[in-house]
Amino acid sequence: MDFISILSIFVMACFVGYYVVWSVTPALHTPLMAVTNAISSVIIVGALIAAAEGGDGLAKWLGLAGVVFASVNIFGGFAVTERMLAMYKKKERK
Amino acid sequence: MHEVAQLPWGVALAYLVAGVLFIFALRGLSSPATSRAGNRYGMAGMGIAIATTLYTHDVVALPEIIGAIAIGGVIGFITARRIAMTDMPQLVAAFHSLVGMAAVVVGAAAYLSPAAFGIADPATGEIFAASRIEMGLGVAIGAITFSGSVIAFLKLNGNMSGKPILLPMRHVINLGTLLGILGLVAYFTQDQAPWVFWTVTALSFLIGFLLIIPIGGADMPVVVSMLNSYSGWAAAAMGFTLGNTAMIITGALVGSSGAILSYIMCKAMNRGFLSVIAGGFGAEAAVSGGEAKEQRPWKRGSADDAAFLMQQAESVIIVPGYGMAVSQAQHALREMGDLLKKEGVSVKYAIHPVAGRMPGHMNVLLAEANVPYDEVFELEDINSEFSQADVAFVIGANDVTNPAAKTDKTSPIYGMPILEVANAKSVLFVKRSMGGVGYAGVDNDVFYMDNTMMLLADAKKMVEDIVKALAH
């Protein structure tokens, strides 16, 4: 993909982000931070590429370190979000 | 302009699907009812992104990679299970630092082995100029996110004082360092020598540290949101380097999410983003607050008085703040609410956007204590109800109830929207002692009103005593 297509995707995604995030209810702002944290660990893709194909020895180990950091975040972030969201309950109807 | 390694269309499509699933994940959070489905979409998106990457590369190191995922996964999962809800701000800060560090190591790996990422000219082995900028910015933002989040973590976790640390000439030092980083990233396009890359990295670690140390504890909601935003931009910059749509979409989503949260927090304190980032808020105010100490009469109440007053009331609005989180009073508070409801009292909770140490902090704690979310209201939805309420029960909140924000133009919190507890028929104010003023260092007129009763004790202890008094 050329730079302009990538930039277009980025700019559009910023707009999508703007509207989607404004629609998040303030009560869920903490889970929002936890889940954005988890999904920003999609950076693991870069770490995986480095670990898989980093010819140079150091690059491979840096990649593996990146995989560990990002996995902590992915598993931790989604699990903690799940835990928080499970706590939000409606009033029981009597 | 350069051509990033061409991905087969199926692969590009898979990353796009992952990106769209992440959008659904955030979309789900528009209501607690749909939020859990949203979280599942997020997990699915992440699974697709990881599987696609592994599928499309020659994975010689598969056992090591699986081992790395397992190690990280177990650490993350156990932490997420065990963490106390009151410690959520620290946890989020710690997670941010990991995203930052991951961005730094990915950037460094790409710099050391550009061919693996398809960002080098196969003939000369030189990294494309555009990739150098993206890589430089990605590493810089990642490093700032890392060291900034580490400081935020230490402050939130209490390993470091929440007081602002003010270096002399800090604005000059910070601005100089930032300009130095930008200059070096620009120079990096001309010369890809190792010293340029590593100096950018080192300076970025330093500036992340310098930027956060002058910011006080109660401004942390803004800082945590801002670092959230940075972690997104770091992922986006790396996405540009790799030409990966999943990373770019996610980076943009997270980046705007954090930016919007910072904006909401700043607005809720009526302060400019730059003034928060410049730091030093708590320190200056505390000094000026020291001189005008006057003795004014106030009324002290006991748990029994409070219980009696609330039993007689028709409606009670509870205003929780950071003090409730510190003393872990949320469970006792819910018990109190239940007992009052049994007596036929209407109980509601009012949450100020900056109550606590991160956006939505109070909501999570109340949810943990099983308070139904339809009893919890935001500032603008409940503020008009205080004038009809019999009792406003303030627990561990101070600045967010201070009428000086409306009346006193010289006050450091002037213009901040407040919860108008003073309008209630009576105010019960749970506070540890009369000595401490809130974070902004300003005295609160609510303490001295005729209809205010001060309940001086640890928040949890006081609420438990009230529960006992209500029970018999």
pLDDT over 90 (residue B220):
no
Q: Rounded to whole angstroms, what are the CA distances from B121 to A48, B2, B101, B124?
A: 22, 10, 27, 6
**pLDDT single digits (tens) B11-66:** 889 999 999 999 999 999 999 999 999 999 999 999 999 999 988 887 777 888 99
B125 & B173 share domain: yes
Q: Which of A8, A12, A36 to mutate to test the interface with B (most CBs of B within 10 A)?
A: A36
Band (pLDDT 50/70/90 cuts) for residue B285 is very low
The answer to whether A46 and B135 are in contact (CB under 8 A) is no
Neighbours of B370 (CB within 10 A): 14
CB contact under 8 A, A47 and B75: no
Nearest-CB residue to B250 (from A21, A42, A82): A42
CA distance B169 to B172: 5
B204 & B307 share domain: no
CA distance B101 to B143: 6
Band (pLDDT 50/70/90 cuts) for residue B294 is low
| Residue B290 forms part of a structural domain | no
pLDDT over 80 (residue B218):
no
pLDDT over 60 (residue B289):
no
pLDDT over 50 (residue B336):
yes
State mean pLDDT over B128-155.
Answer: 92
**pLDDT single digits (tens) B1-24:** 344 455 678 888 999 999 999 999
**pLDDT single digits (tens) A56-74:** 688 889 999 999 999 999 9
Three-state DSSP state, A51: helix
The answer to whether B398 and B434 are in contact (CB under 8 A) is no
**pLDDT confidence of residue B7:** 62
Residue B71 touches chain A, beta carbons under 8 Å:
yes
Angle between helices B9-27 and A29-40 (to 10 degrees): 170
Residue B447 touches chain A, beta carbons under 8 Å:
no
Structure tokens belonging to residue A74? 């992915």
Where is average pLDDT lowest: A21-35, B263-277, B329-343, B385-399? B263-277
The size of the A-B interface in CB pairs under 8 A is: 392
* B355/B91: higher pLDDT: B91
Residue after which a domain boundary falls, among B60, B82, B104: B82
CA A62 to chain CA centroid, nearest Å: 20
| Residue B288 forms part of a structural domain | no
CB contact under 8 A, A24 and B106: no
Interface of B with A in 333-352 (CB under 8 A): 351
**pLDDT confidence of residue B251:** 94
State mean pLDDT over A18-36.
Answer: 93
Residue after which a domain boundary falls, among B61, B82, B103: B82
Q: Which of A69, A89, A92 to mutate to test the interface with B (most CBs of B within 10 A)?
A: A69
Q: Burial code of B406-428, b = ≥16 C-beta within 10 A, e = fewer?
A: beeeebbbeebbbbbbbbbbbbb
Neighbours of B355 (CB within 10 A): 29
Q: For residue A50, which of B9, B58, B127 has the smallest C-alpha distance?
A: B58
For residue B436, give the CATH number of its domain. 3.40.50.1220
**pLDDT single digits (tens) A6-15:** 899 999 999 9
| Residue B292 forms part of a structural domain | no
B68 & B112 share domain: no
Q: Which domain holds residue B141?
A: 93-281
Structure tokens belonging to residue B406? 């409306």
Q: Domain count of chain B?
A: 3
Which residue's entry shows tokens 């699915």?
B44
B43 & B142 share domain: no
**pLDDT confidence of residue B415:** 84
Compute φ and ψ for B256, nearest 5 degrees.
-70, -35
State mean pLDDT over B92-103.
Answer: 94
Percent of chain B with pLDDT strictly greater than 70: 93
B144 & B118 share domain: yes
The answer to whether B198 and B111 are in contact (CB under 8 A) is no
Interface of B with A in 175-194 (CB under 8 A): none
CA distance B407 to B422: 13
Q: Rounded to whole angstroms, what are the CA distances from B76 to A63, A70, B439?
A: 18, 9, 33
- CA dihedral sign, ordered B175, B177, B178, B180: positive
Predicted TM-score (pTM) of this structure = 0.87
| Residue B358 forms part of a structural domain | yes
**pLDDT single digits (tens) B235-246:** 999 999 888 889
CA distance B337 to B341: 6
Q: Which residues of B are known catalytic residues?
A: 399
B37 & B119 share domain: no
Residue after which a domain boundary falls, among B248, B281, B314: B281
Band (pLDDT 50/70/90 cuts) for residue A55 is low
B372 & B243 share domain: no
The answer to whether B445 and B437 are in contact (CB under 8 A) is no
B20 & B98 share domain: no
B236 & B313 share domain: no
Percent of chain B with pLDDT strictly greater than 90: 52
Compute φ and ψ for B428, nearest 5 degrees.
-105, 125
Highest mean pLDDT among B93-97, B274-278, B455-459: B93-97
Tell me the ipTM for this assembly: 0.93
Q: Under 8 Å CB-to-CB from B106, ≥6 apart: which residues?
A: A43, A46, A47, A50, A62, A63, A66, B138, B142, B238
Calculate the average pLDDT of chain B: 87
B104 & B235 share domain: yes
The upper half-sphere exposure of residue B325, i.e. CA atoms within 13 Å in the direction of its Cβ, equals 23
Which chain A residues have a beta carbon less than 8 Å from that of B86? none
Where is average pLDDT lowest: B119-133, B275-289, B405-419, B451-465? B275-289
B194 & B119 share domain: yes
